[in-house]
Every structure is written in structure tokens, then in C-alpha cells.
Amino acid sequence: MAPQLRRAPADLPLLISVPADLPGHISVVPRPGVCHGCAMDDYRQVNRANWDERAPAHANSPDYEVEQSTADPAFLSSVVRFDLPLLGDISGLRGVHLQCHIGTDTISLARLGASMTGLDFSEPALAQARQLAERTGADATFVQADVYDAVSILGAGAFDLVFTGIGALCWLPSVRRWAKEVTALLRPGGRLFIRDGHPMLWALSDVREDGLLVVDNPYFEREEPTVWDEGGTYVRTDAVFTHTITHEWNHGLGETVTSLMNAGMQLTGLAEHDSAPWDALPGQTERTSDGEWRLTDRPWRLPQTFTLQAVKRG
Ligand SMILES: C[S@@+](CC[C@H](N)C(=O)[O-])C[C@H]1O[C@@H](n2cnc3c(N)ncnc32)[C@H](O)[C@@H]1O
């Protein structure tokens, strides 16, 4: 999902895999069933296998702060702490957290007084989320579904707040379809809050030794996914992964805004941030006192994340 994960774009007619006995060595071998131009459902299988394997490792990583969340009933995830000034008061709202992963942010939103439903397609991620909800007694339930099936599973107009982001849109082939789903989930006047990776960040190449920031990947949405082969993940862990392929898409900021407006949303805020809550460009960043990662050299060159807010027209 992030540039630091993108060691080996599998932009080849044959697909790349890293045999388990040769860590770090890339071999080019045919991988039936994983390919450019594959059936649309295949991307879900491929991506879900990747997330299913990573979820337990993420829950055990200090970076997801599960222990702090369990030990301190007032603890908020660093993602939600950053969001707070723009998020404001959400107490009493019926909220849905799309692509909630292991639920750390969902629990934080419940602690702010919202009644939360988390949705994700990864059952192992939801198992971690349910365990966290049980241990913390948070007002949060979790549902397994694809984002594009959210309305058929959760109901139209069922929510006051849709919350999502931090590596969410890049897993979805069509931002227009996502925008329709988000809009349909909300009651009239209901609100979307998304802070996600900036499309400009996703468009950058892997970190280069010369330190230059180079645009080497799609900025605009394309029909074909960009296929990556990466054995690691974005948090600290000793876990070794065997599912290394992902299929991802970028969506230009204008495409996201326009899709939401066309779906029936009114834009109420759009902020671009020079930081991200994970180290997207290792070796070129420093961690600042707010727990965010910024470019060490002239951070004003690059938006790393954006926060978009919109309300459903009545
Ligand atoms: C990087 S996480 C989202 C950020 C999350 N807030 C966190 O805790 O880091 C991405 C999540 O999207 C989920 N996901 C990816 N594609 C999906 C899809 N098509 N439908 C539902 N969930 C999906 C993955 O299972 C994963 O849990």
C-alpha cells in the first residue's frame, strides 16, 4: 500500500514471486491466476490473502499500540488523535469504519462516543478487531464484507458518519463505485471523513539513493492495477510472509472529489498534509513530536496525506 512496500513492481507479462527459501531474491516465474488483465474478482482473492496473513502480525506489532489501547480506557490511536481537530464531536453518531483492519481506530472512534460498525473483507483482521472490542468493552461491532457490498449488507442510509482511510482507496479499482457506496450508506446530511495516502505519494518511485523524489507510478486511476511483489509490511514485525503479491490502484484527488460530488455529496473540507502516520519514505523522513513522519529535507515539497470531508446533500 505504501511506497516503502514497493520493492518490485510486477509490471511484467510474467509475474514475479519470491520463493520462501530465497528471501530477498526475485525470480520470474509464471503464476497462474495472478496476472495483469485478470478477472476483477481475482484482485480480491490476491489482496485478501495478503491482508489475512498480515493481520495477526500487525496486532502483535508495537506500532498498532494494541496493548496501550487495552490497558488505558481513554487511549486513542495516533491516527484518530491526529484527526481530532478536524473530526470534532462525534458522540452519539452511528458510524461505519470502512476497511477497519484490526479495529484500533474503530475502537478509538467508539471511545469518542460514536456507536461504531467496522467493515473489512479480511476475517483474520476482524478476529483481532472483535478481540480488542471485547477486551476494551467498546461500542463496536464488526462485519465481514467487500467495500463494494457495504450497502447491501449494512443498509442504505443507516449511518451518520462514514470514516475510512490510511491506506484504503488504493485497494479499490474504481473510486466512482466507492463514492456511490459511501453516499448510499449515509442518511441525508450524514458525513464522510477520510484521511488517506495522497495520490502524489502513491505516484512516487521507491526511495532512491540519490534522494530525488521521482514520479514513476500512475497518479490517475487506470483500469489495470499496478501489481506489486513485496515480502514485508509497513509496521515493525519479525513475521515472515508468503503472500507477497498485491493489486493496487491510484486515484487522483480530482477524481475522488468529483466522484463524491457526482454521487450526491457536498465537499466541506479538503486539507493536504506534509506528513503520514507511517514511514512512507524510509531514510528520507523523520518522526516528529506528533508521531507523524515528514520528509527531513524540505517537507513542504510533498503532500503525504489528505483529509477530505463531505456531507450528503439532503
Ligand atoms: C491499511 S488497512 C486500512 C487502514 C486501517 N485504518 C488501519 O488500521 O491501518 C487496509 C484494509 O483494507 C482492507 N481491504 C482491502 N480491500 C478491501 C475490500 N475490497 N473490501 C473490504 N476491505 C478491504 C484490508 O483487509 C485491510 O484491513
Tally of domains within the chain:
1
Report which protein residue has its CA nearest ligand 1's atom 1.
167
pLDDT at position 124, please? 98
pLDDT at position 39, please? 56
Q: How close is the Cα of 101 to the center of ligand 1, in Å?
A: 5
**CATH value at residue 131:** 3.40.50.150
Report which protein residue has its CA nearest ligand 1's atom 4.
166
Q: What is the mean pLDDT of residues 188-202?
A: 98
List the grid coordinates of 160.
451518520
Q: Which H or E run contains 239?
A: none
Q: Which residues line ligand 1 (CB under 6 A)?
A: 1, 44, 47, 51, 99, 101, 104-105, 120-122, 125, 146-147, 166-168, 171
**Ligand 1 atom with minimal separation from the 77 CA:** 8
Q: How close is the Cα of 298 to the center of ligand 1, in Å?
A: 31
d(CA 162, CA 255) in angstroms, rounded, equals 19
Q: How close is the Cα of 178 to the center of ligand 1, in Å?
A: 13
Q: Is residue 8 part of a domain?
A: no
Nearest by Cα to 37 from 66, 70, 3, 14: 14
pTM: 0.90
List the grid coordinates of 210.
540519490
Percent of the chain with pLDDT over 90: 87
Q: What is the mean pLDDT of residues 79-101?
A: 98
The domain of 111 spans: 14-312
d(CA 114, CA 91) in angstroms, rounded, equals 5
Q: Is residue 3 part of a domain?
A: no
Task: Tell me: pLDDT of 35 over 70.
Answer: no
Per-residue pLDDT of 114-161, as tens digits, reads 999 999 999 999 999 999 999 999 999 999 999 999 999 999 999 999
Q: Is residue 9 part of a domain?
A: no
Q: Is residue 6 part of a domain?
A: no
Q: Is residue 4 part of a domain?
A: no
The neighbour count for residue 53, using CB atoms within 10 Å, is 18
Which position has the higher pLDDT, 21 or 173? 173
Of the given ranges (37-46, 207-216, 292-301), which has the lowest mean pLDDT?
37-46
**What is the residue-averaged pLDDT of the chain?**
90
Determine the number of helices (DSSP H) and then strands (DSSP E) in the chain.
9, 15
Q: Is residue 7 part of a domain?
A: no
